[in-house]
């Protein structure tokens, strides 16, 4: 469940969601990877703006290659985009954990 913490970022599954216009970033800024969501198109439904086309990008978040796209896809709707973006992020972060 999403909630807001003292820093005013929306937190989803323990990671911050940060929005700037039509772009959302998901993940800990200190981690090597984060997910970038770009809302390509939205529709008004009952007075609310609903994203209906979203580009998902798994990007690097550190070093000289900051914001280099590792994976990219497009989904209909923010829910579907978040679902795949969260999976990509968890998978990428799991692969870089040291064994032991």
pTM of the predicted structure, to 2 decimals: 0.84
Structural domain total, the chain: 1
Q: Do the domain assignments include residue 13?
A: yes
Rg, C-alpha atoms of the chain: 14
Q: Do the domain assignments include residue 51?
A: yes
Please return the burial class of 82, using the count of CB atoms within 10 Å of its CB with bins 0-12, 13-18 and 19+: buried
Distance CA 88, CA 33 (A): 10
Could you report the per-residue pLDDT of 41-94, keeping only the tens digit for each? 999 999 998 999 999 999 998 877 777 999 999 999 999 999 999 999 999 999
Q: Do the domain assignments include residue 48?
A: yes
Q: Do the domain assignments include residue 100?
A: no
> Which domain, by its residues, includes 14?
3-95
Distance CA 65, CA 3 (A): 31
Under 8 Å CB-to-CB from 1, ≥6 apart: which residues? 12
Q: Are 25 and 35 in contact (CB under 8 A)?
A: yes
Comparing 3 with 76, which gets the higher pLDDT? Answer: 76
Q: Do the domain assignments include residue 89?
A: yes
């Amino acid at each position: 469940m999403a909630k807001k913490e003292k820093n005013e970022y929306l937190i989803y599954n323990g990671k911050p969601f940060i929005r700037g216009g039509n772009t959302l970033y998901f993940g800990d800024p200190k981690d090597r990877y984060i997910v970038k969501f770009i809302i390509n198109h939205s529709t008004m439904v009952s007075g609310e703006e609903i994203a209906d086309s979203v580009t998902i990008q798994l990007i690097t978040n550190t070093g000289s290659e900051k914001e280099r796209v590792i994976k990219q896809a497009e989904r209909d709707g923010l829910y579907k985009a978040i679902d795949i973006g969260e999976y990509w992020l968890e998978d990428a972060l799991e692969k870089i954990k040291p064994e032991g």
